[in-house]
A and B are shown apart, each in its own frame.
Chain A
Amino acid sequence: MTRSLVLNNARIIDPSRNLDEVGSIIIGDDGHILAAGAEARNQGAPDGAEVRDCNGLVAVPGLVDARVFVGEPGAEHRETIESASRAAAAGGVTSFIMMPDTDPVLDDIALVEFVKKTARDTAIVNVHPAAALTKGLHGDEMTEIGLLQQAGAVTFTNGRHALPDTLVLRRAMTYAREYGAVVALEPRETYIGNGVMNEGLFASWLGLSGVPKEAEIIPLERDLRIAGLTRAKYHAAKISVPESAEAIRTARGRGANVTCGISINHLCLNENDIGEYRTFFKLSPPLRTEDDRVAMVEALADGTIDIIVSSHDPQDVDTKRLPFADAADGAVGLETMLAAALRLHHSGHVSLMRLIDAMSTRPAQMFGLDAGTLEPGAKADITLIDLDEPWIVSKDALLSRSKNTPFEDARFSGRAIATYVGGKCVHSL
């Protein structure tokens, strides 16, 4: 049970209603929104309510991060569900989808239940498990999609792993369609894509093996064809080149039910950031060229790219303090996704409405989560943002157990000032 809460004088941006106006949000003691918008101004406050003046702040539906890797179970030294949830709250993220790449893999209802239970007991934000599409993520046999969904899995994915067997993919997607489940894959071809950074001149000088764009485009085209064939809901979890966005557009034109996402890193960084073999910038897919980045920002702005994810992937010293080619892929991002995305707002490339849509409303709709809106009756998951608050990312200040951020010492304008989950404040600066 929480106290009622009134947020006054906030600029409310709610993409679910295409609403951008100054107003109030009234939250009942059951943790749900009673009213939000200009019409809620001067309506008074429920008895005993806490009133907060939000002058100068932006109130948005709490962010939804659809791709988060957590170390629990199996690698708790990197991240637990609890520590990830604290990192999320600090970054304004009120719900995240946890990838099944754990040890053991989330391919069984008992494990999905374990995650749900651990999250309920320890997490301060909403944690939704994604289940493995194939047993052990091996890509050979499909998992119990129906039962896993009943247990609470919100989507099915092969996580970091490619799915080379087209027949397995076809059957899994055909089967998933019956349950309305979204199949989310990272398009990655492992033969031509057997490299460690973007292919090109920079990789050649560094003496590192390259990953050409085709390593993403070819499997994506394949997946899109299978999606068309099976009429299943397909989500390309992380794309990195404009040709992929183009392929998505074309597939939609054919009537396929497909969506795609991009990691915040690919919207803000490019291959040159690798500099002298900085392993925190070793990602999958690899950071691409500046031209690619700019084109992807455009594809985000025009809605071809549906959602932004942090692709939060905690890695420790043992997997990152290695020569570049030997280091693991991945970067943490829950705490910096919003601030990094605001760079695109400040630069004028993407509207605030679209950014919040891509980080909250749209992913909530795609994965059927009770989130992403400030409509009366909705759960009061709200992020208060100061668009201009200057801050510098300090490794030591990160709440995540792992510190592998590509934004170390980055200067940002804007961050989450407060995060509410079900009307309860879980982060406040």
Chain B
Amino acid sequence: MVFFPHRHLLGIKGLTEQDITYLLDKADEAVQISRQREKKTSTLRGLTQINLFFEASTRTQSSFELAGKRLGADVMNMSVGNSSVKKGETLIDTAMTLNAMHPDVLVLRHSSAGAAALLAQKVACSVVNAGDGQHEHPTQALLDALTIRRAKGKLSRIIVAICGDVLHSRVARSNILLLNAMGARVRVVAPATLLPSGIAQMGAEVFHSMEEGLKDADVVMMLRLQRERMSGSFVPSVREYFHFYGLNAEKLKAAKEDALVMHPGPMNRGVEIASEVADGPQSVIEQQVEMGVAVRMAVMETLLLSQNQGPRT
């Protein structure tokens, strides 16, 4: 019996501590499935999952695809390259077309904030937000939380430092929401040009130096800095950015000895993170990828199996 009071997963906002714990517990079980030789189950047999990706994405899309397949669902991928989106069809028209094919879940990645919420209003099935503009990326926050919980045994009363381009990061927003909901202390470390307005009221302590921001941290979460934002527009140069905000072994020393190093990928080695750290013993970047599949299995299963039972919101 699955009880989950949401029909869609559009963001971490709106989820309670119980909801998050439920999903993480479920994902823990899914980790086991993925580690077996026989990875395919029939949990979602007969159900259809459509991955609608308006932005290029390798790991998220394949992670969702694998999650659906391991649960026994029929998975279809639609990406911008071979769809009519290029011919000027709007998001809603595309969605209505797909909706007419009776999918059970739509996984949407889109470059505009609010795209998933818009879609959810118009289609009859569940919608999972796989990243909408600079708004939210809930499954990334969940997989990060699962990775931390498995390593640290808890999420409450730990210090998580989120470093880098918070301004443009949906990952940061979802993580700030989730970690606060679970009782963690969140810090953000970034140059002022890469922080959103009102960040101090968003449930994060603000630091402008890696040394102070990382002090006693249990988790160091690095964010990707887009190439077009490196040269003069938000930071003066890659060299300057790496010097002050790039994570290397030296800067990592400020954090706790057993601090985890995380990155949502894809990494820019030598921009926000040095290889020595990315590949070092404290790095859990590969585990994050593994947890990604598990979390997405948990989300899909929970949404689809609770649909006819739990109350819809």
Binding site for B on A (CB under 8 A): 199-201, 203-210, 212, 276-277, 318, 321-326
B135 touches A201 (CB 8 A): no
Determine whether B134 belongs to the interface, using a CB cutoff of 8 Å to chain A: yes
The smallest C-beta distance from A238 to any residue of chain B, in angstroms, reads: 23
Binding site for A on B (CB under 8 A): 13, 90-92, 110, 112-115, 117-118, 132-136, 170, 173, 196-199, 201-202
Taken together as a complex, chains A and B put the C-alpha atoms of A200 and B112 apart, in Å, by 18
For A199, A212, A277, A323, which residue has the most chain B Cβ atoms within 10 angstroms?
A: A323
Nearest residue, chain A, Cβ from B113: A207
A-B contact pairs, 22 of them (CB 8 A): A200-B198, A201-B197, A201-B198, A204-B196, A207-B136, A207-B170, A208-B113, A208-B114, A276-B114, A277-B114, A321-B90, A322-B90, A322-B92, A322-B118, A323-B91, A323-B113, A323-B132, A324-B113, A325-B112, A325-B113, A325-B114, A326-B112
The smallest C-beta distance from B206 to any residue of chain A, in angstroms, reads: 13
The smallest C-beta distance from B56 to any residue of chain A, in angstroms, reads: 18
The smallest C-beta distance from B106 to any residue of chain A, in angstroms, reads: 15
Nearest residue, chain B, Cβ from A212: B197
A207 touches B173 (CB 8 A): yes
Nearest residue, chain A, Cβ from B122: A321
Taken together as a complex, chains A and B put the C-alpha atoms of A205 and B170 apart, in Å, by 9
The smallest C-beta distance from A311 to any residue of chain B, in angstroms, reads: 23
Q: Which 4 A-B pairs have the closest CB atoms?
A: A277-B114, A323-B112, A207-B135, A201-B198
Query: Which B residues lie within 8 Å of A325 (CB)?
Result: 112-114, 133
Query: Which B residues lie within 8 Å of A199 (CB)?
Result: 197
B117 touches A276 (CB 8 A): yes
Taken together as a complex, chains A and B put the C-alpha atoms of A165 and B198 apart, in Å, by 33
Taken together as a complex, chains A and B put the C-alpha atoms of A259 and B90 apart, in Å, by 41
Nearest residue, chain B, Cβ from A325: B112
Query: Which A residues lie within 8 Å of B118 (CB)?
Result: 277, 322-323
B114 touches A323 (CB 8 A): yes
The smallest C-beta distance from A329 to any residue of chain B, in angstroms, reads: 15
A324 touches B196 (CB 8 A): no
| Given contacts A204-B202, A207-B134, A277-B114, A322 and B91 within 8 Å (CB-CB) | yes
Query: Which B residues lie within 8 Å of A277 (CB)?
Result: 113-114, 117-118
Nearest residue, chain B, Cβ from A318: B90
B117 touches A321 (CB 8 A): no
Nearest residue, chain A, Cβ from B91: A323
B13 touches A210 (CB 8 A): no
**Residue in B110, B136, B170, B173 whose CB lies within 8 Å of A323:** B110
Taken together as a complex, chains A and B put the C-alpha atoms of A321 and B112 apart, in Å, by 13
B202 touches A205 (CB 8 A): yes
